[in-house]
Amino acid sequence: MRVNQLAREIGVTADTVRFYTRIGYLKPAKNPSNGYKVYSPTDRRLLRFILSARQLGFSVEDIGRILHTADQGHSPCPLVRELIQQRLTENEKQFQDSSRLRRRMMDAIDAWSRKPDREPTGDMICHLIEEFSDDGLPS
């Protein structure tokens, strides 16, 4: 099947298929009569695997490592467990950072609701932001 057929069947864009082909994760054959790339059922299975891994938070590089390990005939499962733990740790940090930002935003909304609007001056652009201290508390 050609790139557009594979993309439509899997539910992604043709650019997605081309991307994974360009980086070498998909390896379609070339039709000798017209030069078009022809994707096999193995490519379809591989693309589904890649998309599933991406939905679990694995990076493109992670997936490359997993595929390389499998291509070497070794079980990628220990690597997958290690990588998912790393991704979870990263995700947890991002979640905590996002939670702190959310709290700062809520504090700003609360504090700013009681402050008047002011015109900019040569020394100030927006007093709401400029008076909000680095520790997230109004100054």
Instruction: List pLDDT tens digits, range 41-50.
Output: 999 999 999 9
Distance separating alpha carbons of residues 114 and 130, to the nearest angstrom? 16
Global confidence as pTM = 0.77
C-alpha pair distances (Å), 98 with each of 46, 58, 92, 94, 131: 34, 20, 10, 6, 22
Mean pLDDT of the chain: 93
Task: Give the pLDDT confidence score for residue 137 in this predicted structure.
Answer: 52
Instruction: List pLDDT tens digits, range 66-116.
Output: 999 999 999 999 999 999 999 999 999 999 999 999 999 999 999 899 999
Structure tokens at 45: 């299975």
Averaging pLDDT over each range in 26-35, 49-58, 107-116, 130-139, which range is the top one? 49-58
Distance separating alpha carbons of residues 47 and 40, to the nearest angstrom? 11
Domains defined along the chain, listed by start: 1-55 (1.10.1660.10), 58-139 (no CATH)
